[in-house]
Amino acid sequence: MIVDCAIVGGGPAGLNAALLLGRARRSVILFDDNKPRNAVTRHMHGFLTRDGVSPDHFRALAWQDIVQYPGVKIDRNRVISIWRVNGGFQLQTAGGDGGVFYARKLILATGLKESLPEIPYIHSFYGRSLFSCPYCDGWELRDKPLVIIAEGENAFTLTRLAYQWSKDILLCTNGSNELRDNELSGLRHKGIVVSHERIASLVGEDGILRGLRFVGGREVQRTGGFVSPYWKQASHFAESLGCLMNENGGIHTDGLGRTSVFGVYAAGDNSIIAPAQASIAAGEGSKAAIGVNADLVKEDFV
């Protein structure tokens, strides 16, 4: 059996792509091993009609929409390899009930994988009172004393952005210093305290931040904040298939999700990198689905 399109990744991008292709009467298989990057987050924000919904509830609602279309099937196994075969694609899944699948077109909606600075207990607070995106969680932290943990060159950008939600900000570079002199002076002009001390640990209970302890023993009180993670592609499929990458480390695509490899499309965080918003990813999934359907129509309408 050959389906029109295989979608690898069941986040907002993959889900929305499956929905549109199902409505276009396409045969689709959506691979989703239920390991989303936003699993640590209790609430999604900024998605119209779903502001504050949990990621699990959002996915359940999406599946309810998708299963109405008989052309779409969901496979809960993890895809472990993809090959080009006879102008299409062969996908191999893992697990005892894994198998081999064939598709004419392929959408990679595999997202990104993030890693946090190596600070003791940071994972205990991430997704509860320490977040990566002010647009997603800044409202809940408004006017609180915040910490920005950013070791790289985007420390200034993230801190300047967070200032929109709170004016009481401590920027911690955790021993690094990528700030330019004009950036440093600009932050201090706004009353933002900058510390280059290394962080010994974060302090708090049940995921609620109370403060930070530096290596020298000094402690400061903070009740929440933002951290700049390190990002990388969550899968190797784009690289193994030969897709061109963009300057930000994302998969290069055109306006309808087409990659540099014929028949391969990309949607969501793995192509746009930032901003990593669920609503944007869903829109990217919609565009990729339109690209897939448009190309299939051209191929078949002869």
Residues 46 and 80 in one domain: yes
Q: Are 4 and 28 in contact (CB under 8 A)?
A: yes
Rounded CA-CA distance 153/216 in Å is 25
d(CA 53, CA 69): 24
Domain boundary among 227, 254, 280: 227
Same domain, 195 and 241: no
Segment 272-297, tens digit of pLDDT: 888 888 999 999 999 999 999 999 99
Query: Tens of pLDDT along 241-272?
Result: 999 999 989 999 999 999 999 999 999 999 98
Please check whether residues 72 and 26 belong to one and the same domain: yes
Residue 98 has pLDDT above 70, yes or no: no
Can you tell me the mean pLDDT for 113-137? 95
Sign for the CA dihedral angle at 81, 55, 19, 275 comes to: negative
- Please give the residue that has the higher pLDDT: either 225 or 231: 225
What is the pLDDT at residue 32?
93
Task: Based on the fold, state whether residues 234 and 223 are members of the same structural domain.
Answer: no
Residues 123 and 101 in one domain: no
Euclidean distance between CA atoms 218 and 232, whole angstroms: 33
pLDDT of residue 190 exceeding 70, the answer is: yes
Coil, helix or strand at residue 68: coil
Reported confidence tier of residue 1, pLDDT bands at 50, 70, 90: confident
Write down the pLDDT at residue 266. 98
> In terms of domains, do 182 and 221 share one?
yes
If one counts the domains in the chain, the total is 2
Residue 96 in this model has a pLDDT that exceeds 70: no
Q: pLDDT tens digit string along 49-77?
A: 888 899 999 999 999 999 999 999 999 99
* Predicted local confidence at residue 9, as pLDDT: 96
Q: Which residue did the predictor score with more confidence, 41 or 102? A: 102
> What pLDDT sits at residue 298?
97
Residues 221 and 235 in one domain: no
Flag whether pLDDT at 36 surpasses 80: no
Tell me what pLDDT residue 285 has.
Answer: 97
- CA 223, CA 209: separation in Å to the nearest integer? 5
Domain span at residue 194 reads 117-227
Asked if 108 and 158 sit in the same domain, the reply is no
What mean pLDDT comes out for the span 164-188?
95
108 and 144 belong to one structural domain: no
Examine the domain organization and report whether 54 and 101 are in the same domain: yes
What's the CA gap between 170 and 238, in Å, rounded?
38
Q: What is the mean pLDDT of residues 2-19?
A: 97
Exposure of 182 in the CB half-sphere (CA atoms within 13 A): 0
**Judgement on whether residues 207 and 121 belong to the same structural domain of the protein:** yes
Q: Which residue, among 73, 72, 76, 44, has the nearest Cα to 57 in the 3D structure?
A: 44
Give the model's confidence band at 38: pLDDT under 50 very low, under 70 low, under 90 confident, else very high.
low
Average pLDDT, the chain: 94
With cut-offs at 50, 70 and 90, classify the pLDDT of residue 46: confident
Q: Which of 180, 203, 227 is the last residue of a domain?
A: 227
**244 and 210 share one domain:** no
pLDDT beyond 70 at 125: yes
CATH code of the domain covering residue 22: 3.50.50.60
Q: Is the pLDDT of residue 195 over 90?
A: yes
User: Which of 210, 227, 244 finishes a domain?
Assistant: 227
